[in-house]
Every structure is written in structure tokens, then in C-alpha cells.
Structure 1
Amino acid sequence: MASFKKWNKLNLSYYEDIRKLYEFFVQANSDVLEVGSELAYLLNAVKPKVGLGIDSNAEAVEVARQKFPELEFWIEEPGSFQCDKKFDYILLANTVSYIGNIQKTFLNLQKVCKDSTQIILTFHNPAWEIILNLATLLKQRREIYNLNWLSYEDIHNLLDLAGFEVIVHGKRMLLPRRLPIFFSLFNKILAPLPIINNLCLTEYIIAKPQPDPVKGQKNIQCLTCSVVIPARNEAGNIERCVTEMPQLGKHTEIIFIEGHSCDNTWEEIQRVQAKYGDQWDIKICQQQGKGKGDAVRQGFNMATGDILIILDSDLTVRPEDLVHFFQAVASGHCEFANGCRLIYPINSQAMPWLNRMANRFFAWLLSYLLNTKIKDSLCGTKVLSKENYHRIAANRSYFGEFDPFGDFDLLFGAAKLGLKIKDIPVRYVPRTYGSSNIQHFKEGLILFKMCVYAAQKIKFI
């Protein structure tokens, strides 16, 4: 075990960066399995509720048991171990580099997966093979024989063959040794930049079990739904929000949150509830705070449905399109459904040219920050499960109360949890009542400031 400690100490900066990566994605107090746990520093660092480490090295397992008695460790081969428990996270920190049969291991891991289990694995960028072999020759790196030098495409294919789908793929760390000045410059500033990022040493993947189509269809029929409708100065649209609403799942709940309107929006909400209360489950409330983000959170806290939907009361997104959002999340095809207005033709009255260009810019910026392709960042229609919303809310302290609109708060929270984010096309139409509450230039500056803030919390860390 002296050799393990020697190499960990010599390459401490590299192992600390791996630890930071896993700490970012793994939610504390979860059930975690680490495959190839060695001395279990990583497993301990993610603060599991239940932690199991497996490793074929009996000496390493014994040291880990003594060092972390609150965790459990087994002497097992990853391709053949058996366990009755299912885990929230499965960690493979560079383990795929020396597993003898990767496909067999991935197939075996399916047995300990829930529908929501995330496999988080890291591996070396194959472009570094010559450099790392030279480091081994110079006694600057632990010698491991018969390494697998796998590309992202190789691992993606092996995961797919074993019934997993890749949710997130990224790269980090340009300089694995801590050199004064250069270490922060290379790893915190240069490494996250486009193009340069392709040269990084560490690649990481988050994967999940592919959704079961039979179970997905059952969920579409059996799950319930809450549609939260923030409304400010939208009196002329309130009744249509109800009359055009489709039935979603087993039960649909409509929640109006009125936000300090200057017109008779609140009175209209009360009238609509009384008129349609025998046909629909309608809940109403006046907003206590300010801003759409606050209204959405208030509505989500009132919601009882399994699936939570945000519908803007201006009805520029048609309620009938909510069916596609509900089905995508309920079936498991995505975990965070993001409305996309840029697929179908858009009337210039609904979205002027300048607004469209700003939207494309923020969509590019968000896609870069989240490592997930998003075509439309500013559509108000967003959908996720109540369970995942509570997970985002529990993690909100990481970003803080930085978003008055609510959209970025949910997107960044979903990205940190490694949720599967998908664009859902909507038909975007001009409003037929009232005028927009958006102050485009002022709010554009706020959005840009939020992106800069989030970049420090997600990319440049």
C-alpha cells in the first residue's frame, strides 16, 4: 500500500481534480457504489449515505476497511460481483482503463441500477498516451500494464451495447502537476475554453440506463401532472389557459399564481376557478414575492403532481403542446424538458429579429456552460418531475438565489445533477391580449451576468 500512497502524493493535484469532479456531480447522502475503489478516498469524499467499494486488490480493501469503517468494501471482480442493493450512483474513476472485459462489467452493473442511476466514469484522453507512457518511464506515474486506451466513441459504444445512454460528456485538466502560476492558468482558465478543451487529459461521462418503453407507456397513463401558470396583467388569457388545456396523465392540476397585476387578473382567476372548478382541479394563489422565478417556486411548492410544468400565461406557447412535454418526461426519454421555439417558423410579431439573435447567443452560451446542446434558452415552458425539482431545490445553495426569472435556476440545477436535458419543439405564436412584461435590454444584461456567474460555478472552477 506504500506504492499507492506514494503515487497519490506525487500526483496529488490530479487526484484532487478527480475528487472535485465527482463531488460536483454526486449528491451527498446518496447510495454510492465505487468500482475499483482502491484506498477509497474518492468514495469517502462524496459523502454517501450507503457506500460500497469493490476492488480485486485484497490488500487495498483491507486498508480501506480500516481507514473508513463506516463504509463497506468487498474483494470482487467488477464483471462478476453480485449485490441485492440498487444504487443512486456508480463511480468508475479510470477503472475502464484496466478492466479486462468492459462490456461484461457494464452488463453486470445493470443489475444494481435503478431507472435513475447515474454511472459516472473518468478515463484518460487517448491523445495523452505518449505523454503518460513517458511519465511512467520517468517514474512520475504508477506503472499499470496492458492499459485500455479508449476513445469517447469506444466507451459510448460499449455503454450502448450494455443498455446505457450517455447524458453528459466533458473534458478537464490541461496540466496535471501543480506548477506555480501555470496550474491555475492552464486548468481554470484555458482548459474550459472551446477547442483547447479537446486537449485536456481527463474525460468524463455520465450515463444512465436506457428507458424501458413498456414502463414509459405505463407512466404516461398513470402519473399525475401539475401545470403552474404565473400570471401578471394577463386577464384576457386566463380562461383560455383552462379551456385549451389538454388532459395530462391520470390527473391534471392547474395552479395560477397571480403576480401583483395592475389589471383585473386576480378577479378573472377567481371567476375562472368558480366556473370550471367542477371540471378541473384548479388552485389559485397571489404571489408573496416578486418575479417569475419566485412565482414558479411558489407554485411548485403547492403542486401535488408527479410531473411539474411551467406554462406562460401569455399563451404564446399553446397549451395543447404540453402533451409532448409530459410524455417525454413521464416516459423517461428526458428528465428536463426545455421548450424550443426555433424549430417551426416564427411570426416576426411573436419574436422580432433582434430578440431571435439574442436568444441564439444565449442558447450557444448555455450549451457551452452545460455541456448539453440547447437550441432555445429563453422559452418559458419547462418540465421536470417533482422528485427532480426537489433535488434541484435541495442543491440551490450551490448557486444561491441568483435568478429572478427561474429558467436558469432550473437549467443550471438540472446540469449539476447530471439530468438528461432535451429540447421539445413548440409552435410560438403572437400574444392576443396585453403586452409583454419583459424589458429586453435590461433583462438581457441580467441574463448575461447570470451566465458569467454560472460559468464560475460550473466551468471555471
Structure 2
Amino acid sequence: MDYKKHFDWVAEHDDGPRSKQRGFHAQVLGKLRHHIQPGARVLEWGCGRGDLLKGLQPARGLGVDLSPRMVQQAQVRNAGDGVEFREGDIATDTIDEKFDAIILDFLSGYLSDVQQSLEKLHASCHPRTRIYLTSLNHLWKPLFAVAQPLGLVLKQPPSNWLSSNDLINLLELSGFEVVKSGTEQLFPFQVPLLSGLLNRFVGRLPVFREMGASLFIVARPVARPVIESEISCSVVLPARNESGHIKDALDRIPVLGQKTELIIVEGNSTDDTWAVIEREVAAYQGPLEVSYMKQPGKGKWDAVFAGFAVARGDVLVIQDGDLTAPPEDLPKFYAAIASGRAEFANGSRLVYPMESEAMKLLNFCGNKFFALALSFVVDRPIKDSLCGTKMLLRSDYKRLLKRIEAFGEFDPYGDFNLIFGSALLDLAIRDVPVRYKDRAYGDTNISRFSGAALLLRMTWFGLRKLRFHK
């Protein structure tokens, strides 16, 4: 099939069908805008007239299309303000320039060798590049056959109707890992109220989420991150009323990577935690580079935020001051991040058996519930949303802060901030099991019932902002 000739013809004859598809394409743009923030570097293969690329407001946008006439029209309509268009064939050409996002919008159906085309994308990827691939859901094939005589779509050439599993398999064969997949556009038309109800709510519920008109897949290159600072990892230890755990923390936290710094953030304790920190740090002669500070405000997230703000390591990790999630497990988190197997390592206390007093039955049930709820909110499997141990790159943390800035101060604990932000960045989230231990000193700093009410409010907040986003 001569696709260049076909799409040159489409460029001259699809004004009518395209106008009828305005709502469909607006929905695709809205979905991608949720994932790709303005100011990103974006490459789109099969860009057509460039409306989608321009609508994403990239700082650097490159649109490539096989059809000379499509490229000519794109240059007239959408070139400028950092957006460029050129002719090219994804099957034979490579772009030796790095982009934050690469889009293949309904392109895979026209590729004679999908795997070969996907493999060429690596030349344009850095370790945090995300691939956004859309395609038509084969469940809708009969409806497209009806749409052609009605003038809703032009007559289509022979093409691939690949299933979601086909595309995931081809991405993995090509050296990419799928971060998330599903369908969108249960109702691919713009009708006030009805479109929002069906696409935002009904279409994201179980069963219905597999029935949308469009397949939507997010993938990433499997690559090791660059860890090159003198200090490889910064461990932030929030410590409120934890005087009995400070010496153990200094003795037990291991060196991660080339060099590790420990930042103890004292949280307005009512016991002698601050005095113990001063005494034990002065006496410490171990391999960690240790500093300490008082947190400026209240709550665990305030302490973590203060510690991360002064951290110098390429990798950041939270180690709760009660040490119930053992510091000896931290090398597993570091290995997951440093290898590239995870981009956000989330501790899970709910895999291995735990000590008898480590978690009361009511807390256990609550943790199970919120893990299931968060999994639904972020559309990823989360085994334990409230384990204190969490690790990510400092560069990802900085991007995460910008991504959740619009949320305001909704989470005093920080767990939801980090999980929601990682999901919005399309990071590869991995649960790392820990063996949960009894608390050796003091009492928990969280009230069960008031804490549960706050977590419910934060879960509802996440449903509105992530799962049922516009």
C-alpha cells in the first residue's frame, strides 16, 4: 500500500469528515494534555496537519509525517513558537534528538513493521521519555464500517487492527516497558454533560474501561538513570518523639551507592529527641555524612519537604524514625532505582508476615482498604499506600513538586503527594516488600480515626483529580 499517496489524497479531501470528528480529536488532545505538561519537548510521528502537537504547547515540538501535503499544511497552520514540521518515515528514519514525550497517535495501524518502527524511537529517548500510543479498539471495527458511508470517516486503506495485548507485546519486544494501558472515549463525541458523564466517569469504571473507542498506552524505555553526584543517596529521617531510636538509626542505616548522607529532621517533639540527636550525632564516627535540623512547620510531609530541600544526593529516600520498616531493607530500594527497574520505589508492609504488635487489626484492614482505593485512583497496583519508606530520584522529585503544585497542601503525611505525583509523571511505580517490625520505643504519632477521615478526604481528592479528571 502506498500510504504516502493515500495521505496526500486525504490532505485534500477530509475537510468534511474532519469537521465531524472535531469532538473526537478534542478528547484525544485533552487526554494527552493530562499527561504532557506545557513546555515539554515533544516529538510526534504521523503528525498530520500538526493540530495535536501545537495544542500541547511544547517548548520544542517536532512533527514528522510521511505525506508531503500534510507537512505543507502543518507548516502553514501550526509552525512557529518552537514547533517544526518535516517529512519523514518512521520505518526508515531516526531522529537523533532527545524528547520528553513521543506520540504515535493512531499511527500503528499503518506501519508495515511495527516492531522495527518502535525500535527506532530509542534514538529520541532519554531515561525519562514517555511513549504515548493511541490506536483504534478492534471492538469498534463494525461501527467504523458503518461510519464510512455516513461520511463520518474517509474510506480506509488496509491497516493493522492490533489489540492492546498485541501493542504491549510489540513495545516490550522493542525494548520498552508499558507503564499503563486501557481504553478511552467510551462516547467519542462532544455533547454537553453526556460526554463528560460517559467518558470521565462511566468509561473509567471496571468493564466499561475496556470498551472505549481508543486504545491508550503509556510506555518507557528500560534504561539506567545517571547517578553521578559525590553523594549518591540522601536519607531523610523524620523524628518526632523518637529519642529511643536515634542511635539505632545511626548504627543501622547502610551506605547506599558511593556515599550516603543522613538528614535527621526533628519534628517539635515533646520528649528529649532534639537533645538526643545533638548528643548522638556528635559522638557518631560511622560512614554516613550526618546533619540534622528542626522542621519549620508541622506534619510528616513538612519534615520530608524540609529534608529533601537541602538533600544533595541523586537519590532521595524517606526512612521513618520509628524504624518499624527496617533500614536494612534500603539496599533493595536503591537497587530498584539505580537499575532502572523502578522509578518510584514504594515500600509495602503487607507482603511478608509482620511481628505481632507491628500493626493492629483495625490498622491492617484500613491499610488494605486504602491500598485498594489508591490502586483505583492512580490506575496502578499499589500494595501498601501508607508505608513510610519511599525512594525516587531527586530530579523526579523536583518534577513531581511542579506537577502537584496546583493541588495545594492537601496531604500532611506526604504519601499521597508522592504517589499521586509519580502517577501523574507516568513513573514506573514498584512495590518493594519490607518486613514490618514492632515499635521498640514510644507510640505512633498518627490518630487512627481522625487519620482515617483525613485519608478518605484525600482519596476523594485523588478520584477527582486523577481517576475522573477532565
TM-score (norm 2): 0.93
Alignment match of 2:391 (pick from 363, 372, 383):
383
CA contact (8 A) 2:344 2:428 kept: yes
Partner of 1:22: 32
Q: Write the distance in 2 (CA, Å) between the matches of 1:244 and 1:315.
A: 9
How many residues in Structure 1 have an aligned counterpart in Structure 2? 457
Q: Which amino acid in the other structure matches residue 379 of structure 1?
A: C
Q: For residue 2 of structure 1, report the CA deviation from its aligned partner.
A: 5.6
| AA aligned opposite 2:143 | I
Q: Does 1:246 find its partner at 2:254?
A: yes
Q: Do structure 1's residue 336 and structure 2's residue 348 form an aligned pair?
A: no
Note if 1:80 corresponds to 2:92. Answer: yes
1:220 & 1:320 partners in 2: Cα distance?
Answer: 24
Are positions 1:157 and 2:173 aligned together? Answer: no
Give 1:151's aligned amino acid.
Answer: S
Task: Tell me the SS of whatever aligns to 1:144.
Answer: coil
Give the letter for the 1:386 counterpart.
Answer: R
Shift of 1:180: 4.4
Q: Cα gap change, 1:269/1:143 in structure 2, threshold over 3 Å: closer, same or farther?
A: farther
Matches within 5 A, 1:207-286: 207-211=219-223, 224-276=232-284, 279-286=287-294
CA–CA distance in structure 1, aligned partners of residues 276 and 65 of structure 2: 64
How far does the alpha carbon of each residue in 1:286-320 deviate from its partner, in whole angstroms, 9 at most, with x for none? Answer: 01111111111111101000000000000101111
8 Å CA contact 1:14–1:176 kept in 2: the answer is yes
Query: 1:395 aligns to what SS in structure 2?
Result: helix
> Take 1:256 and 1:284, find their aligned partners in 2: how far apart are those partners?
5
Match of 1:305 in 2: 313
- Per mean C-alpha deviation after superposition, the further-off stretch among 389-398 and 6-15 is 6-15
What SS class does the counterpart of residue 328 from structure 2 fall into?
helix
Q: Following TM superposition, by how much is the alpha carbon of 1:49 offset from its aligned partner in structure 2, in angstroms?
A: 1.7
- Provide, for residues 19-78 of structure 1, a one-character-per-residue CA deviation record: whole Å limited to 9, x for no partner: 111111113322211011111111112222211110011111111112223211111111
Confirm or deny: 8 A CA contact 2:322 2:439 kept in the other structure. yes
Distance in 1, matches of 2:263 and 2:18, equals 54
* TM-score, normalised with respect to structure 1: 0.95
Q: Is the 8 A contact 1:221 1:249 kept in 2?
A: no
Task: State whether residues 316 and 430 of structure 1, in contact with CA within 8 Å, keep that contact through their aligned partners in structure 2.
Answer: yes
CA distance in structure 2 between the partners assigned to 1:397 and 1:12 by the alignment = 31
SS at match of 2:148: helix
Classify 1:209/1:176 alpha carbon distance in 2 versus 1 (closer, same or farther; 3 Å): same
Q: Following the alignment from structure 1 to structure 2, what is the Cα–Cα distance between the partners of residues 222 and 74?
A: 42
Alignment of 1:341-420 (within 5 A): 341-420=349-428
Q: 2:228–2:314: 8 Å Cα contact kept in structure 1?
A: no
Contact 1:169 1:371 in 2 (8 A): no
Q: CA deviation at 1:449?
A: 0.9
Return the letter of the residue paired with 2:266.
Answer: E
Segment of structure 1 superposing worse, 381-390 or 85-94: 85-94
2:206 pairs with 1:194: yes
- Counterpart contact for 2:102–2:129, Cα < 8 Å: yes
> Which letter does structure 2 place at the counterpart of 1:96?
S
Asked if residue 146 in structure 1 is aligned to residue 154 in structure 2, the reply is no
Distance 1:30 1:185 in 2: 30
What letter matches 1:358 in structure 2? G
* Structure 2 unaligned spans of 5+: 1-10
Distance 1:5 1:377 in 2: 49
Distance 1:23 1:4, change over 3 A: farther
Q: Which residue among 52, 56, 64 is the counterpart of 1:46?
A: 56
Q: Deviations over 1:97-128 (max 9, x none)?
A: 22222111101112222222111111122111
In the alignment, which residue of structure 2 is the partner of 1:60? 70
The answer as to whether partners of 2:229 and 2:314 remain within 8 angstroms in 1 is: no
User: Are the structure 2 counterparts of residues 459 and 4 from structure 1 closer, same or farther at C-alpha, using a change threshold of 3 Å?
Assistant: farther
Structure 1 pair 139–4 and aligned structure 2 pair: CA distance change class (3 A):
closer
Task: Name stretches of at least 5 consecutive residues in structure 1 with no aligned partner.
Answer: none
1:175 aligned residue: 187
Report the 3-state secondary structure (helix = DSSP H, G, I; strand = E; otherwise coil) of the residue aligned with 1:367: helix
